[in-house]
Amino acid sequence: MAIKVVELHHTGVRIDAAKQNAVEGFYSSVLGLGRDEGRPTIPGIPGAWINVGEVGQIHLIGGDQPSPVAKGPGEDPTRPHVAFAVADIVATRAELERLGVKYWVIEGLTSPDSTQVFMNDPCGNMVELHQIDKCRCRLKSRVGR
């Protein structure tokens, strides 16, 4: 049984923290995209979340690597990645274990009840999986918070 991916939520890109204003200016002035003003402060990880339509964001991630939340070599959530929402993060972890896929977890980084599961595809590209509606990637999750 495959994991039930529900949506593409964000892509995480590395930025030079000294150029954050210029990068944000590019996304707003050139592409017409706005910043998510509700991005939580993540100690040691500067950046911004840029909204893309009703479902999706670009996470601009700065700071030194490895980041303060890295779990070990190659296990740093600030590396470039693509993030998908899944229907059930608990079932997702069980399926990854059944399939023998190596993964690692960060909990409570962006909200107290968030669980982010990270793994690499066969070419080394990082993939994040998280529970649907436990992040700010969807417009309806940003409104009213």
Average pLDDT, the chain: 93
Are 74 and 120 a contacting pair, CB within 8 Å? Answer: yes
pTM: 0.91
- pLDDT per residue as tens digits for the range 38-87: 999 999 999 999 999 988 999 999 999 999 999 999 999 999 999 999 99
**Which domains can be identified in the chain, with CATH numbers?**
5-142 (3.10.180.10)
Q: How far apart are CA 112 and CA 62, in angstroms?
A: 22
Strands 115-120 and 57-61: unpaired
pLDDT band at 32 (very low <50, low <70, confident <90, very high): very high
What Å distances lie between residue 49 and 57, 58, 83, 87, CA to CA?
A: 6, 6, 13, 23
pLDDT at 70: 95
Angle at 94 between CA 89 and CA 97, to 5 degrees: 125
pLDDT(26) > 90: yes
Residue type at position 60: L
pLDDT band at 106 (very low <50, low <70, confident <90, very high): very high
